[in-house]
Structures are given as C-alpha cells and as structure tokens.
Amino acid sequence: MPQASEWDGSQIVIKTPKLQARPRGKNQQKYVHNIRNHDVNFGIGPAGTGKTWLAVACAVEALKDEQVKRILLVRPAVEAGEKLGFLPGDLAQKVDPYLRPLYDALYEMLGFDQVTRLIEKSVIEIAPLAFMRGRTLNNSFIILDESQNTTREQMKMFLTRIGFGSTAVITGDTTQVDLPRGQNSGLIHAASVLSKVSGIGFTRFESSDVVRHPLVQRIVEAYDSFNEDDPV
C-alpha cells in the first residue's frame, strides 16, 4: 500500500475488465483515493451514494492489477423485519439474498462466467460475517458491507482479521440499523473509537452524494428532515 496522501482534486478512474468507473463528486473521488492509500477505510452515508459499488470496483481493479490475490465480500446476516429461520434452504441459501447486491456489482464489472469461475477457485469469496471468525486474511481486498448491522464485538472481530498486504473497506448507513432494540451498532462505535487512529480513512457521504434516480435523493432528504413529533 503506498504512503497515505491527500487527494489533490484530480479526476480518478477505476479500470475493471468490463467498464471504467469515474467517481462523481468530491466525496466519491476522495473515497476512492482513500481506498487506494489506506489499509482500512470507512465509507459512511445514505443509500445510493456508491459506497459499495465503488468499493467492489476498487477490489476488482486491485485483483486485476495483482495487488491482491483474492476478494472477500462480507455482510452481516441481520434481517430488516424478517427472520432467517423462515427462509427456505441451508445457511448459504438463507443469507444469499443479503449478498445479492455484491454479486450484481461483480457481474457488472467482470461478467457472469468470470465471476462464477473465480468463486469456484475461491479467488472471490462472498460470505456472511460469521464465517470470518478465527481467520487471518492476508493479501486480500475485504469489503464489509451494511456494517451498521454489526455489533461492537463483531466489528472488532472483523477488523482484527486483517492481515499483511490486505485492504479493508467498511461501508454502512448509520440511519438504517436493523439490530434488535438495545444492541449498539458496531459501525457507530468504531467510527468514534477509531476516528483519530493514523492510517484509517474515513469518508462521510451526504444526501447530495446520492447518484441513483433523482427521487432517491429527495426521499433521503425528506427522511433526514422529518420530525417524528410533527403531525402526519
């Protein structure tokens, strides 16, 4: 990993086999710069700001350029109002819906056949967070997605899995925590604990960074400004 430096404002391009990605706006470009220049990075902000998609693009680029030997895409299997036990199939099939956005990004950048081959060879691994316990991940690009749904203990466990030659990107939206009532978000806790640790990059996205349908940005802003005490 090169020595950390400040983004100089120049246009950044991410090159993957199927497409070239140009981050939009200052925060997206700063985010990609941080990923390229820090071993551990946090991307925090609302849906639609490109946190996960850009992180996957950086991972694919790093694999293509042989900077890493494998990609690990990880999500906590915490359900938004549903119970995993009611879903059909074994554990892998139960958590598959939670990992689908990661598959979709990979297909877009590598193509279905190549992704399938790399998964079969374990060059790409897509797994629930629980599968990370007890492992040390060297020479890997690791993305923890939806990390607002980790507990404090899970977040610490994940961060201490990172080995030599690895890059980790932790993404999440602190306004979309689906943990049971009374459990504190590991992302919110980590952002406070690690905010002044040298070598860790933080990028905080705003609703103005949303790059989906224009209505998505207005929806995010409406929720952000809504007061629960106001009459509906």
pLDDT at 155 over 90: yes
Helix axes 91-110, 51-64, angle to 10 degrees: 70
Per-residue pLDDT tens digits for 164-178: 999 999 999 999 998
CB of 60 within 8 A of CB of 42? no
pLDDT at 63 over 50: yes
Q: Average pLDDT of the chain?
A: 85
Q: Which of 5, 8, 115, 3 is nearest to 59 (CA)?
A: 115
Q: What is the per-residue pLDDT for 210?
A: 82
**Per this entry, what is the length of the chain?**
232
Q: What is the per-residue pLDDT for 231?
A: 56
Q: Please provide residue 127's backbone torsions phi and psi, each rounded to the nearest 5 degrees.
A: -150, 155
Report pTM: 0.83
Q: What is the per-residue pLDDT for 89?
A: 52
Q: Which of 84, 70, 82, 186 is nearest to 128 (CA)?
A: 84
DSSP letter, residue 178:
-
For the chain, percent of residues with pLDDT exceeding 70 = 84
Distance, CA of 220 to CA of 232 (rounded, Å): 17
